[in-house]
Amino acid sequence: MKERKESEGIEIPKISSRQLRQVREAIAASPPTPLLKEGSVSKCEVCGGRMVTTNSVEREVATPGRLVVITHLPGAECSSCGSVELDAAALGLIERHSARALVADYETSVTKASGGTLGTYFKQDLARVMRLNKSDSLRWTVLDRDRALVEVDRGHRRHSAPRA
């Protein structure tokens, strides 16, 4: 590791671009077969539960203009906590689909506004990159409890009724 930072008593390794390139090359060179036979059981590193090897792991990859869902990936899933581990073959496939992926490098906090209303503020750089302005509105499609698709409705195209 090139450098280590100390953050609240936890050492965080800093990975160089050369190290990252080497890991990507190793993943790309790995065989396309799963490491373990489907149905194999191992111990979950997160909760100690049962990790069951499967060929049905799914991953979403955000790329400019679309969301790619990769299905039937080799890996293992914990039957207790839902933690997922992917084989090198799956990581290689994800890496090939992620060549033009957008990195989710913006984080916002949910804050309490007045009453029971929740809100969030956009970082200035995110608003700049997405070219947001005060006449725009956002349309949220809830995918599941932890994910949503957000579409920008530009001020000049605002609709009063939701799209079907």
| Rounded-to-integer distance, Cα 18 and Cα 12, Å | 18
pLDDT digits (tens, 9 = 90+) for 86-142: 887 788 777 777 665 555 567 788 888 888 888 888 888 788 878 888 888 898 988
pTM, full prediction: 0.44
**Rg for the chain (alpha carbons), in Å?**
20
| Rounded-to-integer distance, Cα 133 and Cα 156, Å | 11
Residues 6+ away with beta carbon under 8 Å from 74? 33, 34, 35, 53, 54, 55, 57, 86, 87, 89, 90
Q: Where are the domains of the chain?
A: 11-97, 110-157
Residues 6+ away with beta carbon under 8 Å from 19? 1, 2
CATH topology classification for 11-97: Ubiquitin-like (UB roll) (3.10.20)
